[in-house]
Amino acid sequence: MTEVERTSMERGDLVKQRIAHYDYFHDPNTFTYRLRKTAKPKEKKVKERKHAVVVRRLIDQNGNHTKTVIDIKSALLCEVLLEINAGVQGLDLSRHEPETSFEVMYHSYGALLERLAKEQAKEQQDRGEALIIDIMAAIQMIEEDLAKTLHDVSGLTAQQEITFDLLWTIFKPNSLICEYHDFTEQNRLLLVRQAEYKRGMDGSRYLQMTCDIIRNDGSLFGFAQELLMIGEFKGVRPIAELPTYPLKYHPSADDLYAEAVKIGKSYVQLSQHSYHEIEAGLALRDQGGRVGQFYVSGRVMISPSAFRRFLPSSELNPSVHKALKKETLTNDDFAIITPIVLGFAFDRKSWGAFALSRIKDVRWNDAAFGALVLGSKQKMLIHGLVRQHASQAASFDDIIEGKGRGLIGLLAGTPGCGKTLTAEAVAEITHKPLYAVSAGELGTTPDYVESKLTEVLELAQLWDAVLLLDEAEVFLQQRNAVDINRNALVSIFLRQLEYYKGILILTTNMAEQVDRAFESRIHFSVHYPELGVEARMSVWKTFLAKVSLQVSEKDLTRLADHHINGRQIKNVVSSAQTISLANGSSGLSLEDIDVVLGVLHDWQSSTQGPSRPLHIRRGVAAL
């Protein structure tokens, strides 16, 4: 026998001595739990050393095997396992008596083989013989106790398949997994930390993955935890057909990873409060303790901190448990940054979670102000004031610190005469969000109104938005000695206006009833008369141009002869376009416009009352 063979045999004997199997059982005589060696075939006794790995089976009072625990008795091996499994949950390797599980040892198998090869490749004087023996003991224990698992998983994964009982084996802690997020219709990557079987209330089994993503929770930026589940299934299933699975099994893994890194970098570049357009699609929102879907389009404010403040316990915003510095992020970090951003959808007036892949830069309509049906002097006044305020807000300051910095406008007139369009145009030329709120949304009782109004004004100021308070009569009406509740509302509103620093536009249908106290607080006021023929012609031109429908001057004059307001003109064009699409037409025609106008006038004739906005449901005109 050569020296090398003798050394190898001696090392093999030492490795065996470093592994032990025990049963932790209940002794009915002493009513306590005791340890005894697990029964095995007799073999030649050798001089024993202290064990490195102890496989301890837990036996209940009925003699049933309930669980197996791996005790790590070697400090050297424990240190290696901690390095391999940094960040993995459920290790229990840092306690006074370190222990772990077969699952952790299984997932450590490949790394232990690599570490063994690395140690054995060292020069003789630098080699840690004790560490080598302990690593070999751990590897041997895995190969003996998990031999069937290793064999079965190898065969299944070679075919890109897995069974439910072996599902845990493919979710290696600290590895990337992928999921198609149905709610926001996009792929995302997560870092799995732990996978364990659970049972639901109905007794059904499922595999729960504890994962980390990187996100901004409105307070901190860093790792946040998410739980994913895969329900029990029978037989063999292709791995790529699972709702969640390791990235390496994805047919386009490299492309998916590259796209995730790109989206992650886009997320990091977002400012705390950033205004964007969003492509039409699904989003998520909190609905009284549960998450629901809603359809969103138009413009949104990405604002995690405001989301956290106004929805502090939302399931859509899990808290960060470990903060990270953005400047230290690696590509692997960027890849697991959530592709979901939190903010406010202005069209739906709803907080939500939006797909980052659909977030785009705002396309400002700088020509919107010029298209207003408004006198040139009035346009000049409004344009000059809002431009000056946007560039030098401090110049509006009052004598008292913090007062009088806001720019307040009052727009009065009947519905559909252009008040809302003016507010929209002001937001466009100043490149600010338009935050529209109706007085009805603020409530009717003084306490609630004050709280809600404070919230609205703070958000508008935080987002540097143009605030449109529509139908503000309830806050503007003259006070009297009888209506105490209304007097309180007006007083609250006056007090809030004193310290508002942004652009606020109020609209009303009853200008003659405005309390005189507002006169000194309003910087510009405009009265909108009912639209005449020329004004209606201008509005028709604007909305027809938006749908690329060209008509002759004669037809335009004929349309303008219809005595309807601007909002009704907008609704007619929108409804006609819907009918055209429902009928499969290639484009909107004047005939479609005439059909909708006919229905509108039939309704007006039958009711002999004021016209009402026209709505379309499923391609059918309805009033």
pLDDT digits (tens, 9 = 90+) for 174-221: 999 999 988 788 899 999 999 999 999 999 999 999 999 999 999 999
Match 């727009």 to its residue by tokens: 411
* Residue of 609 and 600 predicted with greater confidence: 600
pTM over 0.85: no
What rounded mean pLDDT belongs to the chain? 84
Residue-wise DSSP of 384-439: HHHHHHHH-GGGG--SSTT-S--EEEEEEESTTSSHHHHHHHHHHHHT--EEEEEG
pLDDT, position 614:
42
Q: What is the mean pLDDT of residues 241-255?
A: 97
- Percent of the chain at pLDDT > 90 equals 44
| Residue found under tokens 């003991």 | 137
Q: Which helix (H) or strand (E) holds 176?
A: strand 175-181
- Please give the Cα distance from 420 to 411 (Å, whole number): 9
| CA–CA dist 350, 33 (Å, integer) | 58
State the Cα–Cα distance between residues 300 and 278, nearest whole angstrom.
Answer: 7
Provide the CA 195 distance to its chain's centre, in angstroms.
Answer: 24
Yes or no: say if 531 and 565 are a contact pair by the CB < 8 Å rule: yes
CA gap 301, 349 in Å, rounded: 11
Of 455, 420, 378, whose CA–CA distance to 566 is shortest? 420
What amino acid occupies position 167?
L
Closest by CA to 612, choosing from 577, 581, 575, is 575
315 pLDDT above the threshold of 60: yes
| Pair 319, 217: CB distance under 8 Å | yes
One-letter amino acid of 162: I
Strands 175-181 and 244-246: antiparallel
Residue 489 and residue 473 in contact, taking contact as beta carbons nearer than 8 Å? no
Helices (H) and strands (E) in the chain, counts: 17, 25
Distance of CA 409 to the CA centre of its chain: 36
Q: Which domains does the chain have, with CATH numbers?
A: 3-145 (no CATH), 161-265 (no CATH), 272-316+332-360 (no CATH), 376-528 (3.40.50.300), 534-622 (1.10.8)
**According to the model, what pLDDT value does residue 114 have?**
94
Separation between Cα atoms, residue 608 and residue 623, nearest integer Å: 14
What pLDDT, on the 0 to 100 scale, is given for residue 599? Answer: 81
367-425 confidence digits (pLDDT tens)? 888 888 888 888 888 888 988 887 765 454 544 455 557 898 999 888 888 889 899 99
Answer for the pair 614, 600: CB distance below 8 angstroms, yes or no.
yes
Sign of the dihedral defined by the CA atoms of residues 513, 516, 518, 522, in that order: positive
Give the pair of three-digit tokens for residue 196. 């364990």
Element (H, E) at 228: strand 221-231
For the chain, the residue count is 623
Closest CA to 198 of 169, 220, 228, 178: 228
Residue found by looking up tokens 């005109």 in the block: 621
Q: How far apart are CA 502 and CA 363, in angstroms?
A: 22
CA 36 from chain centre, in angstroms, equals 53
How high is the pLDDT of residue 528?
84
pLDDT beyond 60 at 130: yes
Longest CA–CA span in the chain (Å) reads 115
- Residue 318, sorted as left (phi over 0), alpha (psi -120 to 50) or beta, turns out to be beta
Amino acid at 544: L
Tokens of 225: 């935890």
Cα–Cα distance, 144 to 189 (Å, whole number): 34
